[in-house]
Structure 1
């Protein structure tokens, strides 16, 4: 009877030597605290014990994070921090914000008689992110969401052909027709009729009435719901 414990012990040792995974299963059956192979694998993944594994994970995380950003400011991308920031006070910019921007951006393009309020006040940061953005053109918000922060009377554009607008200018619906900084034509990107003709092409009809209508200089003489606002 005393030989049975020894025999059992020998069987366990033999089975343990046959294969690592099976042996571990047998040991875990007889002895508490022996982790199963699957548990060891999970723990290894969790602990990232290999420095190579950590490097790969960090690289993938950085790549995934970078894919979120649609636009990056050149100084940020090139790490030219001193182009905008003071050496002794890195959290502040050099001169006034607009003057800092005009070190690279042509000031004449923002100096027309009709200027958008943020441009007139030198508040570039009101609409634009200084480093990077998940939107195009470093915009702080997408599409119309940015504009309705101030233009609250134009909130409901549900009848606007959004897909066509995005096809013409993917930066946003408003920018399909409007120049956001300054313009002589009431902040329009081009002459009024040309703006309309981006989407509204002449019909293939050569009747005098139709031709007279298309040749009329101002669409808004007849069409006043130019923003396609939903009627309440």
Structure 2
């Protein structure tokens, strides 16, 4: 009985030892497997599954070859990644960390939006470019990490967006058709001339354009669709005109001496006209 017990213990120890060597050493694992089974491939000859990044690389400086299987062009690639120029962004001598913090690193090649816009979109203001963009590759345009609307609604409340009157019928309209994803002149980051998606395009209507219209800056005069003011104007009557135009200069010409309480828009079209004074047809 004791002999059988010792045999069982020896068998158990042998099994544990074999298991240990099997998992810890590819060479020993191969030796054990090939002894027991036929047709076991030698170590390091197994085929590797590589990501389909539509890129085929050549021999690198370290003489190691990275092979990519290409079936079709599925990915958009960031230029440094496409060129395998990792060192343009990453520091070899510092565990591959980026050479500069974001967005300084991005701004070496891309626009510095803090210098371009008065107000910045949250991710831009917080220097978090990679919240929206992939640093290497993406199947989506502009290297987005998610489809556009899904990406926007990961931060913005979709219900709150749809409750806004102007958004009632947007259906599948892209958010960026009206809003600039990086920033703008106001906290809504509206694209220049995005108002023309719904309103008259005065560029096609008039030969001469009023300054704010010509610059695509509708919000210099008009507020949002939540405003209760007539035509959503941000100021009342001629006070809006005098925000830019000097009232003393206005009353100097003879034709303005007797205007009394007449408003500017009784004679002038605020958007543009067939002449450089934007005079209404009745004049």
- Indicate how the Cα distance of structure 1 residues 141 and 154 shifts in structure 2: closer, same or farther if over 3 A, else same: farther
Give how far 1:149 is off.
1.2
Instruction: Tell whether 2:89 aligns with 1:84.
Output: yes
- Indicate how the Cα distance of structure 1 residues 201 and 219 shifts in structure 2: closer, same or farther if over 3 A, else same: farther
Q: How many Å separate the matches in 1 of 2:68 and 2:129? A: 33
- Indicate how the Cα distance of structure 1 residues 82 and 115 shifts in structure 2: closer, same or farther if over 3 A, else same: same
Q: How many Å separate the matches in 2 of 1:160 and 1:137? A: 22
- Indicate how the Cα distance of structure 1 residues 116 and 161 shifts in structure 2: closer, same or farther if over 3 A, else same: same
Give how far 1:185 is off.
3.5
Give the conservation status (yes or no) of the 8 Å contact 1:75–1:83: yes
Give how far 1:182 is off.
1.6
* Paired residue secondary structure (2:103): helix
Tell me the TM-score normalized by structure 1.
Answer: 0.50
Counting only pairs closer than 5 Å after superposition, residues 177-188 of structure 1 correspond to structure 2 as: 177-186=178-187, 187-188=189-190
Give the conservation status (yes or no) of the 8 Å contact 2:77–2:137: yes
Query: Out of 60, 73, 78, which is 2:78 matched to?
Result: 73
Instruction: Tell whether 2:145 aligns with 1:140.
Output: yes
- Indicate how the Cα distance of structure 1 residues 63 and 201 shifts in structure 2: closer, same or farther if over 3 A, else same: farther
Instruction: Tell whether 2:195 aligns with 1:196.
Output: yes
Aligned to 1:150: 155
* Paired residue secondary structure (2:74): coil
Q: Which runs of 5+ in 1 are unaligned?
A: 1-57, 166-172, 203-215, 223-232
CA deviations on 1:174-207 (whole Å, 9 max, x unpaired) are: 10001111211330111xxx323225558xxxxx
Tell me the TM-score normalized by structure 2.
Answer: 0.42
Instruction: Tell whether 2:109 aligns with 1:99.
Output: no
Q: Which runs of 5+ in 2 are unaligned?
A: 1-55, 57-66, 202-220, 229-283
Aligned to 2:131: 126
Give how far 1:102 is off.
1.1
Q: How many Å separate the matches in 2 of 1:154 and 1:61? A: 44
Give how far 1:217 is off.
5.5
Give the conservation status (yes or no) of the 8 Å contact 1:73–1:138: yes
Give the conservation status (yes or no) of the 8 Å contact 2:103–2:128: yes
Instruction: Tell whether 2:71 aligns with 1:63.
Output: yes
CA deviations on 1:39-76 (whole Å, 9 max, x unpaired) are: xxxxxxxxxxxxxxxxxxx9994133xx221x221111
Q: How many Å separate the matches in 1 of 2:107 and 2:177? A: 25
- Indicate how the Cα distance of structure 1 residues 217 and 96 shifts in structure 2: closer, same or farther if over 3 A, else same: closer
Q: How many Å separate the matches in 1 of 2:143 and 2:68? A: 24
Instruction: Tell whether 2:175 aligns with 1:174.
Output: yes
- Indicate how the Cα distance of structure 1 residues 154 and 140 shifts in structure 2: closer, same or farther if over 3 A, else same: farther
Q: How many Å separate the matches in 1 of 2:101 and 2:191? A: 28
Give the conservation status (yes or no) of the 8 Å contact 1:148–1:154: no
Give the conservation status (yes or no) of the 8 Å contact 1:118–1:124: yes
- Indicate how the Cα distance of structure 1 residues 90 and 138 shifts in structure 2: closer, same or farther if over 3 A, else same: farther
